[in-house]
Amino acid sequence: MPRGKGVVTRRLRLSRIGVAAAEPVLGLRGVEVAQVSPTAHVRVHRHRGGSEPASAVLWIHGGGYVLGSARLEDRTCRRMAESLSAVVVAVDYRLAPEHPYPAALDDCYAALTWLAARPEVDPHRIVVAGVSAGGGLAAALALRCVDAGSVDLAGLALQYPMLDDRTAVGSSPPALGWTPHDNRFGWRSYLATDPGADGISAYAAPARRTDLTGLPPTWIGVGTADLFHDEDVDYARRLRVAGVPTKLELIRGAFHGFDVTPGSGLAHSFKRARLAAIRDFLG
């Protein structure tokens, strides 16, 4: 497991190229912070007006399982809450390598079950959405819900999700944003073992799941120059084979994290597509 100064150095570098590009909204009002388990809390964004019970989105930040926070997602979540007239809950989950799998997934599951039990939320109109590692956690949450027969999700929105630890094994083509070296670091931190090893749970790496039947309708968006392109396209294909309604949004030439570029028309259109998919799932 990565330790010490190397972890700090890697976090500082990665924070400059992805997750930290989304700055928290200073002075944002109306954000409720709630403790949902002894190890996890959430930031709750409510829309102005509307009726109850409301639809809801559980938002899971990215960061390769090793960095990021719910507070950095304030702007995204507030806009989503207003656009969808929904409750949007961003979860702060424990990060690797200090807290390897299943810590992050357990925290996200605690947040989801807390959200589904809220009296102001319709438990049948909840979408789980995540970015990068958050997309991987969202996919894993759906698997866990199906297996446990717990929350009946309305849909999944997976933005260039980090699904398959085996992508970090062997040689990979150079990539912008999130590199093969970053990917190996993230997976090894999260798994506390070498990626590609035998016996890794599908709850840790959802692409390892062989049976995808029964999962909720899913939207996957990824760029053709993203390191995760192949694993995401294959996951979408397998979902369709399993009978899961699936939409795959491919962005030509886009690299991992391309949508954090300020003023990018391509980024805006990508975010609109994601929002439209979530709106359709919520009904």
- Catalytic, out of 132, 229, 232, 259: 132
Q: What is the pLDDT along the chain (283 residues), one digit of tens a residue?
A: 555 555 656 665 555 544 434 444 444 457 999 999 999 999 999 987 767 889 999 999 999 999 999 999 999 999 999 999 999 999 999 999 999 999 999 999 999 999 999 999 999 999 999 999 999 999 999 999 999 999 999 999 999 999 999 999 976 666 667 889 999 999 999 999 999 999 999 999 999 999 999 999 999 999 999 999 999 999 999 999 999 999 999 999 999 999 988 778 999 999 999 999 999 999 9
- Catalytic, out of 122, 226, 232, 259: 226
| Catalytic site includes residue 99 | no
Task: Enter the pTM of the model.
Answer: 0.92
Residues sharing a CB contact under 8 Å with residue 198, sequence separation 6 or more, in sequence order: none
Residues sharing a CB contact under 8 Å with residue 100, sequence separation 6 or more, in sequence order: 1, 189, 190, 191, 192
Please give the Cα distance from 127 to 263 (Å, whole number): 27
Measured torsion, CA atoms of residues 104, 110, 115, 118, in degrees rounded to the nearest 10: -160
The reported pLDDT for the residue numbered 21 is 45
Q: Residue 50: how many CA atoms within 13 Å on its side-chain side?
A: 17
CB 107 within 8 A of CB 77: no
| Catalytic site includes residue 226 | yes
Phi-psi bin for 170: left (phi > 0), alpha (psi -120 to 50), beta?
Answer: left
CATH class of 4-282: alpha beta
Delimit the domains of the chain by residue range. 4-282
